[in-house]
């Protein structure tokens, strides 16, 4: 039977958990979801695991797969679930957050896990040559740095050996083009942990590249009806309280600095400054739309464990724009932004573009009617 690849990945995460629990007695299991190119599982281990241990784990996984063990689903009460996982503290915490009577458990072979599913019918539906353990990392339980540090084992997994091999080949090519490697080899930029992780130092060659790119960016924006702004790098706490950033985004902002008895924050975003500029004058509807853009340098607190070359940093210059228009102009402006963005990306050589649509979040501010209109315009 053919199964979706995410189902295959999820089932393989259970197989890996069974293998690890067998090979490392005393292991406590946490969670093991499918992800974009495979899966991971978080463990509390009695001893560290290294990549050198992966072949033994993969061998045990293949043995489990060959056993042709069915994945059996059952629904239990909260009390029954707690009894089943009495020796698994992380599972017990998850169970406490579930409603009674809706708790599902999956078993394959001698392994049992708290899980919504779905899974493949049997381990025979998993290809023993379609996965490869990838890396090991530390991960705080539930993403909270005050909670226990667990061991996370990542793996690649696909529906076939050919798909796995194609992915590994693509990764090998990507490694050759890794921005950290190229940045050093070409003398473009550097990062200095001792001076501050996640902060990029652009060298002369990188500086020339940036100047050329930014000049082209400015020319294109002027051609497409934008005016270019420059805003401060810091602002009083009043600004960030008014904008809502201190209420919704404070954990991603740097700590304030005291200046003349006032708290100032280094900016994580440019939006409040652009709004202040708009409020500086009285505008007529005849002035609209206003298309304002800025290459604004912002600073955001990212945990050190996720920093990665130019991909995840703490300071970066953002291609940022705000369009102020009438409600009647919204749909035309959205279409124009999409056209302009696609044109710039294609000029830069991007051929396959994935777009993720962000809609109204739970902690939103503003009038509901405005949100409704904005969402309808996006449709």
Residue that is last in its domain, among 108, 141, 176: 176
Same domain, 85 and 167: yes
Same domain, 11 and 150: yes
Tokens of 46: 């009695």
Same domain, 109 and 211: no
Alpha-carbon gap, residue 129 to 312, rounded angstroms: 33
Same domain, 129 and 197: no
**pLDDT score of 1:** 61
Residues 201 and 192: beta-carbon distance below 8 Å: yes
Residue that is last in its domain, among 135, 153, 176: 176
User: Would residue 147 count as lying in a domain?
Assistant: yes
**pLDDT score of 258:** 94
Same domain, 221 and 74: no
Alpha-carbon gap, residue 188 to 182, rounded angstroms: 8
Instruction: Give the distance, in angstroms, between the CA of residue 330 and the centroid of all CA atoms in the same chain.
Output: 29
User: Would residue 24 count as lying in a domain?
Assistant: yes
Residue that is last in its domain, among 152, 176, 200: 176
Same domain, 197 and 299: yes
**pLDDT score of 280:** 95
DSSP three-state, residue 224: coil
pLDDT in tens, the chain (379 residues): 688 999 999 999 999 999 999 999 999 999 999 999 999 999 999 999 999 999 999 999 999 999 999 999 999 999 999 999 999 999 999 999 888 777 999 999 999 999 999 999 999 999 999 999 999 999 999 988 889 999 999 999 999 999 999 999 999 998 888 999 999 999 999 999 999 999 999 999 999 999 999 999 999 999 999 999 999 999 999 999 999 899 888 999 999 999 999 999 999 999 999 999 999 999 999 999 999 999 999 999 988 778 888 989 999 999 999 999 999 999 999 999 999 999 999 999 998 888 888 888 877 778 888 888 888 888 7
Q: Which domain holds residue 9?
A: 5-176
Same domain, 154 and 198: no
Same domain, 155 and 200: no
Same domain, 161 and 75: yes
Task: Please give the C-alpha separations between residue 292 and each of 98, 268, 358, in angstroms, as whole numbers.
Answer: 47, 18, 21
CATH number at 113 reads 3.30.980.10
User: Would residue 251 count as lying in a domain?
Assistant: no
């962000």: which residue's tokens? 358
**pLDDT score of 368:** 87
User: Would residue 295 count as lying in a domain?
Assistant: yes
Pairing of the two strands 28-29 and 38-44: antiparallel
User: Would residue 150 count as lying in a domain?
Assistant: yes
Same domain, 9 and 152: yes
Which of 195, 184, 186, 125 is CA-nearest to residue 159? 125
Residue 314, φ and ψ in degrees, nearest 5? -105, -15
Count how many domains the chain has: 2
CATH number at 370 reads 3.30.930.10
**pLDDT score of 144:** 87
Alpha-carbon gap, residue 300 to 233, rounded angstroms: 12
User: Would residue 124 count as lying in a domain?
Assistant: yes
pTM: 0.67
User: Would residue 253 count as lying in a domain?
Assistant: no
Same domain, 226 and 349: yes
Same domain, 211 and 172: no
Give, to the nearest 10 degrees, the angle between helix 5-23 and helix 54-66: 110
Indicate the Cα dihedral angle 135, 140, 142, 144, nearest 10°: -150
User: Would residue 41 count as lying in a domain?
Assistant: yes
DSSP for 28-81, written as a single string: EE----EETTEEEEEEE-SS---GGGHHHHHHHHHHHHHTT-B-EEEEE-HHHH
């Amino acid at each position: 039977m053919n199964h979706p690849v995410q189902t295959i990945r999820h089932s393989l995460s259970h197989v890996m958990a069974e293998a690890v629990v067998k090979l490392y007695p005393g292991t406590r299991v946490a969670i093991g979801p499918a992800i974009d190119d495979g899966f991971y599982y978080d463990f509390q281990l009695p001893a560290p695991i290294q990549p050198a241990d992966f072949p033994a784990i993969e061998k045990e996984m293949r043995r489990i797969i060959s056993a042709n063990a069915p994945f059996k689903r059952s629904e239990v009460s909260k009390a029954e679930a707690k009894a089943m996982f009495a020796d698994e503290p992380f599972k017990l915490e998850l169970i406490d957050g579930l409603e009674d009577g809706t708790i599902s458990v999956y078993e394959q072979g001698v392994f049992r896990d708290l899980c919504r599913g779905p899974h493949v019918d049997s381990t025979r539906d998993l290809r023993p040559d379609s996965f490869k353990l990838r890396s090991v990392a530390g991960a705080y339980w539930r993403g909270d740095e005050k909670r226990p540090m667990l061991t996370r084992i990542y793996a690649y997994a696909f529906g076939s050996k050919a798909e796995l091999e194609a992915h590994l080949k693509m990764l090998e090519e990507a490694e050759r083009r890794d921005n950290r490697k190229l940045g050093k080899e070409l003398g473009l930029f550097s990062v200095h942990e001792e001076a501050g992780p996640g902060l990029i130092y652009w060298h002369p060659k990188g500086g020339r590249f940036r100047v050329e790119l930014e000049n082209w960016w400015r020319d294109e924006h002027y051609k497409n009806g934008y005016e270019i702004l420059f805003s401060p790098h810091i602002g009083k706490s009043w600004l960030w309280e008014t904008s809502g950033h201190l209420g919704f985004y404070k954990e991603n902002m740097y700590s304030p600095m005291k200046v003349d008895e006032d708290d100032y924050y280094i900016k994580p975003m440019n939006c409040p400054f652009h709004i202040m500029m708009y409020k500086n004058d009285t505008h007529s509807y005849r002035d609209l739309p206003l298309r304002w853009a800025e290459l604004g340098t912002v600073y955001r607190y990212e945990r050190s464990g996720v920093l990665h070359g130019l991909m995840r940093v703490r300071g970066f210059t953002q291609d940022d724009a705000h369009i102020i228009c009438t409600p009647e102009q919204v749909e035309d402006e959205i279409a124009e932004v999409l056209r302009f963005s696609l044109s710039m990306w294609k000029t830069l050589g991007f051929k396959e573009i994935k777009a993720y649509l962000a809609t109204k979040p739970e902690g939103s501010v503003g009038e509901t009617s405005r949100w409704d209109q904005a969402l309808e315009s996006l449709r």
